[in-house]
Amino acid sequence: MTKKLTLLTLGLIFCLCTGCAVNPITGQEQFMLIPEQQDITIGREYSPEVEKQLGGRIANESLQNYIDSVGRQIARIGHRPDWEYHFVAVEDKSVNAVALPGGYVFVTRGMLQKMKTEAQLAAILAHEMTHIVARDSSAAISRQIGINILLSAVTSEKTPESVLLIADLTRQILDLKYSREQEEVADFGGLDYMVRAGYNPYGAVEVMQMLQDQQRIRPIEFLSTHPSPQNRVEYLTQKIQTDYYRLEDLKVGEEDYRNIVLEQLAD
């Protein structure tokens, strides 16, 4: 083996080794060359534009605090409790929830109005947080947009052109697609998170049933980026019946959700 080939081989081995990361949800190795710090940078830099494009924050601090408190209960028992999470309710009327790398979760007015319990809210937040912890969002950005493109846009001087570029890139972020495998992992991971946080897992089943019912009426934004196999309700129900017990001790939170969310949004 020539010296040049040896160096090339060693370089390739180094890249492969440094690019290996363990998905904390599955416990399996996955190829990931993007450092976590870039997740945090992208989330911090693009979250204001995401919030803007989703209609801005709902101007109700008690509702925002409630959403945030449910999210933080889940974050505390997650695989990355050391990350700084942000759970925000936005004005967009579509039925949707969005996860950004680095710990940012947005849930729309349309989604909040369709849900009926705190357990259902916990299911959505846990599902999105699982995408973040598994770094699905980062992988999707890297594959569908390009990390370097996003970072170069936010580090350049703020000109009218760069502002328009960031707005366009944000629209692409909002259209990121997850694979069916990533969705199934997020379903099961989110289920585990919400149960360990003290919530009744049937909230996740109810959310999926609600989304399927809404999809029959009109296309649901959430399902355009989160593929929805027909057996989703079935495999979640089977998982609950097989693995979880003493569900009567777990929180549903119908009254709290009605008082803090539904009645406030109806005003």
pLDDT digits (tens, 9 = 90+) for 166-202: 898 888 888 888 888 888 899 999 999 999 999 999 9
**Confidence at residue 221, expressed as pLDDT on a 0 to 100 scale:** 64
In a domain, 3, yes or no: no
Give the chain's mean pLDDT: 84
CB-based contacts of 34-38 (< 8 A; 24+ apart in sequence) = 34/135, 34/138, 34/139, 34/142, 34/147, 36/135, 38/101, 38/138, 38/147, 38/151
- Closest alpha carbon to 133 in 252, 32, 11, 215: 32
Question: Beta 97-100 vs 86-90: how paired, if at all?
Answer: unpaired
**Confidence at residue 180, expressed as pLDDT on a 0 to 100 scale:** 85
**Residue in the structure block whose two tokens are 């049937």:** 202
In a domain, 12, yes or no: no
What is residue 195's three-state secondary structure?
Answer: helix
**Confidence at residue 146, expressed as pLDDT on a 0 to 100 scale:** 78
Instruction: Determine the Cα–Cα distance for residues 123 and 129; give it in Å rounded to an integer.
Output: 10
Instruction: Determine the Cα–Cα distance for residues 80 and 130; give it in Å rounded to an integer.
Output: 10
pLDDT above 90 for 260: yes
pLDDT digits (tens, 9 = 90+) for 196-229: 999 999 999 999 999 888 877 666 667 666 666 5
In a domain, 2, yes or no: no
**Confidence at residue 37, expressed as pLDDT on a 0 to 100 scale:** 82
Q: How confident is the model at residue 13 (pLDDT cuts 50, 70, 90)?
A: very low
**Confidence at residue 17, expressed as pLDDT on a 0 to 100 scale:** 42
Are 109 and 241 in contact by the 8 Å Cβ rule? The answer is no
Domain assignment of residue 62, given as a range: 20-266
Q: How confident is the model at residue 4 (pLDDT cuts 50, 70, 90)?
A: very low
pTM for the full model? 0.85
In a domain, 15, yes or no: no
The DSSP 8-state label assigned to residue 267 in this structure reads: -
Are 222 and 254 in contact by the 8 Å Cβ rule? The answer is no
Query: Above pLDDT 90, what percent of the chain?
Result: 50
Instruction: Determine the Cα–Cα distance for residues 244 and 134; give it in Å rounded to an integer.
Output: 23
In a domain, 174, yes or no: yes
Q: Tell me the mean pLDDT in the region 1-17.
A: 41
Q: Which two tokens stand for residue 57?
A: 């924050």
Q: What are the phi and psi torsion angles at 77 (to 5°)? A: -100, 0
In a domain, 14, yes or no: no
Instruction: Determine the Cα–Cα distance for residues 44 and 10; give it in Å rounded to an integer.
Output: 35
From residue 258, give the alpha-carbon distance in Å to each of 46, 114, 203. 32, 11, 15
Rounded to 10°, the helix 180-196/232-243 angle is 40
In a domain, 48, yes or no: yes
pLDDT digits (tens, 9 = 90+) for 234-255: 999 999 999 998 899 999 999 9
Q: Tell me the mean pLDDT in the region 48-73.
A: 97
In a domain, 246, yes or no: yes
Q: Which two tokens stand for residue 92?
A: 């967009």
Which of 86-95, 125-134, 154-163 comes out lowest in average pLDDT? 154-163
Which of 54-58, 121-125, 130-134 comes out lowest in average pLDDT? 130-134
**Confidence at residue 76, expressed as pLDDT on a 0 to 100 scale:** 95
Angle CA(228)–CA(231)–CA(234) in degrees, nearest 5?
125
Which of 16-20, 98-102, 229-233 comes out lowest in average pLDDT? 16-20
188-197 exposure pattern, b = at least 16 Cβ within 10 A, e = fewer:
bbbbbbbbeb
pLDDT digits (tens, 9 = 90+) for 41-53: 888 999 999 999 9
* Domain count along the chain: 1
Would you put residue 20 in left (φ > 0), alpha (ψ -120 to 50) or beta? beta
